[in-house]
Chain A
Amino acid sequence: MKIESQIKCSRAIDLMSSYIDCMAEPEESQILESHLDTCEPCQRQLHSYISLRSMMASIEPVRPPEDLVMDTRVRLSHARSGSIFDRIEALVVNVLKPVVVPAVSGITLTVLSFSILLGHLALNLQAQDLNASNAMEEPVRTTDQTLLSAPGNSGTDWREPLSVKANVDYVGRVYEIRILSGSQTPAMKQWIQNLLYTAQFAPATRLGKPINSSTILTFVNVRS
């Protein structure tokens, strides 16, 4: 089969990009090669395309910021831990709070006025309501003093802070640990397990009732 060699340089240049990636059709490659055999300017063009691709491929990947993986994991963790119930609750709180709070305040003032006028009774109920609304949800808290200053372990690697996600049950005991960042050596895992599985937390509460929840703890090495 006779290959057409008389293509214009502009057409040849159009084909070069896919040719250098081996993505030109076989016929296109033959046409281009035939043209290149007789066209020095296009040979130089081809070399410049190859040089361009090599230059682009030689760029070193840009290293992400040190804390990006950690930040991404934390944001993902927050998004993922929010159950449908929590999202609805958040929506209700966010949408209704601006309406409900003034309404409750108005009612409270009315009740207060009546209680002052009439003398009795409603004041205690009202106080209980306020306490209840404040106590709707409380996060898990650290009560164990050993967590504030725990002895380190010579076998652990403390070159960077250790961040740990701990799942705490409704009695305040840790039942699952996941290291989010920092050294993940067996010695470090053993150390953090020994520390957290024996620690006591004040469990999170919803409407005053203890519930399972999670907390993120960060440990840093302090030399004394």
Chain B
Amino acid sequence: MRRELAYYDLERGAATLVDGQDAVFVRRLQANEDAAYDELVRIYNSSIYHVAYRMLGDSAEASDAVQDIFLKVFRNIGTFRGDASLKTWIFRIGISEILNRLRWWKRRSRLSTISMDDDHNGNGNGICIRDSAPSPYQSLESKEKEFAIQQALGRLSKDHRSIVVLRDIEGFSYTEIAEVLGVSVGTVKSRLARARADMKKSLIRYLTIQRV
């Protein structure tokens, strides 16, 4: 049982281009090709927004961050040397931008607040419910869980939050996370272990613990 569960793998990563196409795609971006930038936005918009929203906890801030991230990608694409995949390079810029925003908030004492407004005004930016017509009770439970996760993320340090969002929500591999955050795989392992331990403490009442 342990082994079967242990080999369960997450495959919810952002859509990405295969390595062989990266170089061609980057050249098109560096050549300032309209269609290439449209494709870039189409591919990465949702996943970057999702990471930004989970990190910042606010849809308006996340939207601003997404736009600034794409502008930084455009301004820096000339410096892309292919040391990492395009996906990890973009997310490195993205996480850096998001962390800067969190620092800015901290300096102004706007410590992480959880925005649930989106859900109430019905524009669909906040909590999403599965399409399989959940019962009102299931919807409420799902909202409650998601709110609890967002709160638990908000209690983590910035470093730990980045790592949990990238791994457990976006499904990045350890190597990709190491490249995005500029740390070793060993550091990713130890930070993720500590972050998950903190998340587990915060979410213990929602976790299914089997009696052995």
**Interface residue ranges, A against B (CB under 8 Å):** 13-14, 16-23, 33, 36, 40, 43-44, 46-53, 55-57, 59-66, 68-69, 71-73, 75-77, 79-80, 178
Contacts and interface: CB of A to CB of B under 8 A. Distances in A.
A65 B63 contact: yes
Q: 10 closest A-B pairs (Cβ-Cβ)?
A: A17-B193, A56-B168, A60-B128, A64-B49, A51-B207, A43-B212, A51-B208, A47-B210, A62-B53, A18-B189
A19 B193 CA distance: 10
A64 B168 contact: no
Contact of B5 (A18, A20, A63): A20
Interface in B165-212: 167-169, 171, 174, 189, 192-193, 196-197, 199-200, 203-204, 206-212
A61 B50 contact: yes
Given A62-B128, A64-B46, A68-B49, A23 B168 contact: no
Given A62-B128, A72-B41, A21 B174 contact: yes
Contacts of A22: 6-7, 9
A53 B171 CA distance: 11
A73 B208 CA distance: 43
Contact of B146 (A18, A21, A59, A72): A59
Nearest to B53: A62
A5 B89 CA distance: 42
Given A17-B192, A33-B2, A62 B210 contact: no
B189 A68 contact: no
Contacts of A63: 46, 124-125, 128
Contact of B66 (A21, A43, A49, A64): A64
Contacts of A51: 207-209
**Interface majority SS (helix, strand, loop, mixed), chain B:** helix
A73 B128 contact: no
A13 B200 CA distance: 12
Interface in B1-44: 2, 5-10, 12, 32, 34, 37-38, 41-42
B171 A65 contact: no
Interface of B: 2, 5-10, 12, 32, 34, 37-38, 41-42, 45-47, 49-50, 53-54, 59, 63, 66-67, 70-71, 74-75, 123-130, 145-146, 149, 164, 167-169, 171, 174, 189, 192-193, 196-197, 199-200, 203-204, 206-212
Given A65-B63, A76-B37, A52 B203 contact: yes
Contacts of B34: 178
Contact of A52 (B71, B130, B207): B207
Contacts of B7: 22
B36 to A, nearest CB: 11
21 contacts: A17-B192, A21-B167, A44-B211, A48-B200, A49-B196, A49-B200, A52-B168, A52-B200, A53-B10, A55-B206, A56-B168, A57-B169, A63-B128, A64-B66, A68-B63, A69-B45, A71-B67, A76-B37, A79-B71, A79-B75, A80-B74
